[in-house]
Amino acid sequence: MKNPPETMFESAFAEDTYKGLTSYPKYLLSKYIYDEKGDKLFQKIMEMPEYYLTACEFDILRINASAIAESFSSDKGFDLIELGAGDGKKTKVLLQELVEKGFKFDYLPVDISQHVLDQLELSLKEEIPQVNVKVQQGTYFKTLEKLAEYDSRKKVILVLGSNIGNLLHEKAVEFLANIAKAMGKDDMLFMGFDQKKNPQTILDAYNDPAGITEEFNKNLLVRINNELEGEFDTDKFIHWETYNPETGTARSFLVSKTRQTVNIKKLGLEVNFDAWESIHTEISQKYDDSIVNWLADEAGLMVERSFSDKENCFKNYIFRRK
Ligand code: AVI
């Protein structure tokens, strides 16, 4: 394997890729799946029948819309800040309810993609024009720093879709603690957590027969090819999913079918793979009440209430600062 390039890496993606592919065991960071193609593939995943998370959370929001909206309300009105808003499909159920109840609020969707935010703003203008929308482009991290500035009235912070599940517990606590730091005593965090369930249901959600999740996972290699002049042949890797019911952790891998060497020109790197060697690409953590309570406690939060679907597939929790 060659030495790292003498010059600085051209991007965080380049540096993280270098680190991950020169580590043992090899890994890549799942956040890099999401370029334009990765975003589209994730949209497709959310529509797959096997990916129960979206439908379950949608049902929770639809069935409990009135109670959830009531819990957000405040005499002086509130700021509804959504981290990782995406297409806002699920959020619109709540926005509609808040509008119908005549509550005073501003909706501040945050997303890394300006394109996604433009689409969301446009669709809201058409579908629920009464909503006052102020889009915020940026990473979660940058936005968390800015969150505390919204302190003139109650803040309701919304994180849907079990995005927290892509973080190891230590990082999840850090993420929650950063949100807690920005929260006043009246503020609320409303967040989705996918629940432990029949292991087969979980494996099926991350291993669809149509191969959409495989393409999503392999998009990491495609991005390396496109942006770092990599020479991965994606057919020489298989998508592999595992789920450990003890820890509640689903893990995605790409496994090399043969012994091979892959050149990544912009990194000055030749990566050697043994036959059946793996690259770990993503974790999708599943939770139960005791893990969520523990995470909250570690982060300076407490669970006030939770909403669940009939089969306890998914839960949305309301947290307050301790
Ligand atoms: C975004 N995140 C919560 C998804 C998940 O369930 O971990 C990403 C995903 N990976 C494979 N399918 C969906």
Q: Give Cβ neighbours of residue 56 (< 8 Å, ≥ 6 apart).
A: 309, 311, 313, 314
The pLDDT of 237-253, averaged and rounded, is 98
Check pLDDT > 90 for residue 93. yes
The CA distance from 224 to 36, in Å, is 14
pLDDT tens, 298-315?
999 999 999 999 999 999
Report the candidate in 253, 312, 249 with the shortest Cα–Cα distance to residue 286. Answer: 249
The answer to whether the bond into 109 is cis (omega within 30° of 0) is no
> What confidence score (pLDDT) does residue 150 get?
81
Location of structure tokens 């600062």: 321
The CA distance from 19 to 26, in Å, is 9
The CA distance from 68 to 33, in Å, is 32
Length of the chain: 322
Ligand 1 pocket residues where CB is under 6 Å: 45, 53, 161-163, 165-166, 206, 213, 216, 282, 284
pLDDT class of 277 with cuts at 50, 70, 90: very high
DSSP annotation string for 193-227: EEBP--HHHHHHHTS-TT-HHHHHHHHHHHHHHHH
Report the candidate in 152, 151, 137, 144 with the shortest Cα–Cα distance to residue 177. Answer: 144
The CA distance from 255 to 249, in Å, is 19
Q: Ligand 1: which of 30, 42, 212 to mutate, judged by most atoms within 8 Å of the beta carbon?
A: 42
> What confidence score (pLDDT) does residue 4 get?
62
pLDDT class of 5 with cuts at 50, 70, 90: low
131 CA distance to ligand 1 centroid (A)?
29
> What confidence score (pLDDT) does residue 99 get?
97
pLDDT tens, 96-154?
999 999 999 999 999 888 888 999 999 999 999 999 999 988 887 778 778 778 888 99
pLDDT tens, 226-235?
999 999 999 9
pLDDT averaged over every residue in the chain? 94
Burial of 109 (0-12, 13-18, 19+ CB in 10 A): buried
CA angle centred on 183, ends 179 and 184, rounded to 5°: 170
For ligand 1, atom 1, the nearest C-alpha belongs to: 163
Q: Which atom of ligand 1 is nearest to the CA of 205?
A: 12
Q: Give Cβ neighbours of residue 223 (< 8 Å, ≥ 6 apart).
A: 13, 32, 33, 35, 38
293 CA distance to ligand 1 centroid (A)?
22
Give 106's Cβ-side CA count (13 Å radius): 13
284 CA distance to ligand 1 centroid (A)?
6
* In contact, 321 and 301? CB cutoff 8 Å: yes
pLDDT class of 7 with cuts at 50, 70, 90: low
> What confidence score (pLDDT) does residue 3 get?
57
pLDDT class of 2 with cuts at 50, 70, 90: low
For ligand 1, atom 2, the nearest C-alpha belongs to: 163
pLDDT tens, 163-187?
999 999 999 999 999 999 999 999 9
Q: What is the pTM of this model?
A: 0.94
- By percentage, how much of the chain surpasses pLDDT 90? 88
The pLDDT of 283-301, averaged and rounded, is 98
